[in-house]
Amino acid sequence: MTTPAPLLSLRGLSKSFGRVAAVRDLTLDVAGNEFFALLGASGSGKTTLLRMLAGFETPDTGQILLDGQDIARVAPNRRPVNLMFQSYALFPHMSVRANIAYGLEMERRPRAEIADRVAGMLSVIELDGLADRRPDQLSGGQRQRVALARALIKRPRLLLLDEPLGALDKKLRAAMQLELKRLQHEVGITFIVVTHDQDEALVMADRIAIMKDGRLLQCGTPHEVYEHPVDRFAADFIGVMNFIDAGGGRTLAIRPERIRLFPDTADTTTDGRVIARAYHGLDLQLHVQTALSPRPLLVRLTSDAADRRPVAEGDAVTLGWNHADTRTFTEENAR
């Protein structure tokens, strides 16, 4: 193996609280400059993992190697790792400028350098005019940028972001996803984002790790985890999936957008009836009751395709798909 040494390397990391195992025997590498997403439901252990990386929890066993050095027992204020908190945790009694300068003051940087770097950072986050405001005088999006700036200005080896967009409304969120990605390219710092939002992970991350019950379920590029989920849970967690009982303890899984309506050629076809129809602007979603499964299949058509062959509720339709677009799960990896 000649791949370069990873920036961050987790080796057999475990952490329990009382009898509850939050993280179990987790091993994972993150490369330099990567935008990495930790995806999982609440209670999956992703936040505990993040807090161990930041230094607020100490692992029971295992190593956290950063540039080859084990930092698992290093105090949070002595790690080249910074965290953007879910609540932002801005210091309410300090101005925006003082918030951003705080980390550099802790490094005992010269005043002139601090002033310079803070000014630079303020213009990066486009808040030059608001430097003397207090956090409670800012909007949600502005606070989020201050929190980011405060962590970034220390030029950490690793920036951790705990649900960074969780407190923002939907529109702002979409804009900030791209903004975060752009910023990460610009500063060249490795980002690890914790999120429970699979869309966010798919859009932003170079690689995604799905966590479940404290373990790493799957790790790969967005394309890999979307197209080749390792098991039924992963398949269900990322995106929407139709499951069809294929007999013999096997389950067939197919994405709604891979099912075609009235196909010319298809490996498998089945007849059904449209029981519900929902228009979403970009696409049209149909619930089609078939003989294959007790639950209706979800079919997603582009508006284009839907216009070409309009269907209404109650219409009889033929569905079809190719084997290459399906995944088969057996009992062992069914849950």
Partner 1 sequence: MRQAKSLALMAPALAWLFALMVVPCALILALAFFRRGIYGGVEYTFTLENLALVFDPLYAGIFLHSARIAGLAALIAVILGYSAAYAIASMPRRYQPALLFIAVLPFWSNYLIRTYAWIVLLNREGLITQGLRVLGYEGEAPSLLYTEGAVITGLVYNYLPFVILATYAPLARLNPEIAEASRDLGASGWTTFRRVTLPLTLPGVVAGGVFVFVLSIGNFVTPALLGGGQFQMIGNVVYAQFLTANDWPFGAALSMVLIALMTGLLMLQTLASDRATGGATGGPQDG
Q: Which residues bind to partner 1, rule: CB under 8 A?
A: 54-56, 75-78, 81-83, 85-93, 102-103, 106-107, 134-136, 138-140, 143, 150-151, 154, 167
254 close to 240: Cβ distance less than 8 angstroms: no
For the bound state, the minimum distance from the C-beta of residue 106 to partner 1, rounded and expressed in Å, comes to 3
For the bound state, the minimum distance from the C-beta of residue 146 to partner 1, rounded and expressed in Å, comes to 11
Angle, CA of 158, 226 and 34, to the nearest 5°: 15
Nearest to 154 by CA among 99, 104, 88, 191: 104
Comparing CB distances to partner 1, the nearer of 54 and 274 is 54
For the bound state, the minimum distance from the C-beta of residue 20 to partner 1, rounded and expressed in Å, comes to 15
Comparing CB distances to partner 1, the nearer of 79 and 300 is 79
Comparing CB distances to partner 1, the nearer of 27 and 87 is 87
Residue 158 main-chain phi, psi, to 5 deg: -145, 130
In the chain, which ranges are E strands?
8-17, 20-30, 35-39, 61-66, 69-70, 81-84, 158-162, 190-195, 207-212, 215-220, 242-247, 250-254, 260-261, 268-279, 283-290, 297-302, 316-321, 326-329
Comparing CB distances to partner 1, the nearer of 156 and 229 is 156
Give the strand order in the sheet containing 20-30.
Answer: 20-30, 8-17, 61-66, 69-70
Comparing CB distances to partner 1, the nearer of 135 and 164 is 135
59 close to 28: Cβ distance less than 8 angstroms: no
For the bound state, the minimum distance from the C-beta of residue 99 to partner 1, rounded and expressed in Å, comes to 9
For the bound state, the minimum distance from the C-beta of residue 203 to partner 1, rounded and expressed in Å, comes to 24
